[in-house]
Amino acid sequence: MVSNDSRRPRIGITTYLEPATWGIWHREAALIPRVYLDAVAAAGGTPLLLPPVGTDPSVLEILDGLVIAGGCDVDPASYAATPHPETVDTRPGRDDHETVLIRAALDRDLPLLAICRGLQMLNVALGGTLHQHLPDVVAHDEHRPRPAVFGATEVKVEPGTLTARILGDSATGSCYHHQALDVIAPALKVTARAGDGTVEAAEVEGKDFALGVQWHPEETPEDLRLFTALIRSTT
């Protein structure tokens, strides 16, 4: 937790390793879209990047909160499933890294916001499973309309939950995913769903602030309520 000094809350954000090009260089780099950094900073925090290299949960000792970011498909081996033909571009090393950080954050009751893939990882880390290709379940592609195009998902929020205290009884999220929660981990409580039944938010029961959403709140800079709530929970 943040002490009584004047520093801004330090919020760790998980990153991923990808080939990248800058200047004359083309090399593997630890990446995260800048919108995550801007959202944390605009909400009053200082973003710190956590690459999936040299994983050490003791890094959480210097953090006031943690964001598990979106990204590629979760490896189905992490929940003992056979890969679906549409499950591609997995990163088992990142899965392992984020599982360690999620479990350590929950053990410490460190404020946690899990975004898109982050919600999926939260469920898997706690013993749940995923729908590997959501269109097989809901018979449409509205959660990922086209490559690099976000969809708009209307969600209904369960009253009396942390999610409802932050967002009210409904919200519109920018979504881009083809995987989603299937079997819900015992420690999770579903707190919002889309009209087609897709789980859109879930909270870890018994924790002050451990919340995951299936959409991308960082893509809506005019609505920082989730990030602001995360920052406020650190004090």
Identify whether 116 is a catalytic site residue. yes
**Sheet architecture: strand order including 170-175:** 46-50, 10-14, 65-68, 112-115, 210-213, 199-204, 188-194, 151-157, 170-175
Q: Which DSSP string do the residues of 131-168 spell out, in sequence order?
A: ES-THHHHSS-TTS-BTTB-EEEEEEEPTTSHHHHHHT
Identify whether 216 is a catalytic site residue. yes
Q: What is the DSSP letter of 84?
A: P
Q: Residue 117 and residue 80: Cα distance in Å, rounded?
A: 18
Identify whether 222 is a catalytic site residue. no
Catalytic, out of 98, 116, 178, 203: 116
Catalytic, out of 200, 203, 216, 219: 216
Q: Residue 22 and residue 49: Cα distance in Å, rounded?
A: 19
Q: Residue 183 and residue 120: Cα distance in Å, rounded?
A: 11
* Catalytically annotated residues: 116, 216, 218
